[in-house]
Amino acid sequence: MGYYSDFHVEDTDIVGVKEVLENYSDPYGWESYDHLPYLHAKWYDWLKDLKELARDYPDNFLIIVRYGEEMPDMSRAVVKGGQVVEQQPTIVWPDL
């Protein structure tokens, strides 16, 4: 079976980021929405693959948000300075 997630590039300064990501997330094909790539796939090694990308692009940045099938399963990876940091959101209910 497996677990699908949606991956959305939120921001980046990598020129041709869609093609770059396809090299690190093979065999998945990235689509474009609003000029930024997104992917719907079982990309289990996404953080490992992004660490490799970070080493190859140490002077660039990339922010990818991952939305899992079951909410609130979501996180984002920030690639910057040759490193990858996964961040978890803080969910807060508003005051009534």
pLDDT in tens, 7-60: 999 999 999 999 999 999 988 999 998 889 999 999 999 999 999 999 999 999
User: What pLDDT is recorded for position 1?
Assistant: 58
Q: Which residues contact 85 (CB under 8 A, 6 or more apart)?
A: 77, 78
CA distance 4 to 96: 34
Which single residue is written with the structure tokens 């699908």?
4
Residue 4 has pLDDT above 80, yes or no: yes
Mean pLDDT calculated for residue range 51-75? 96
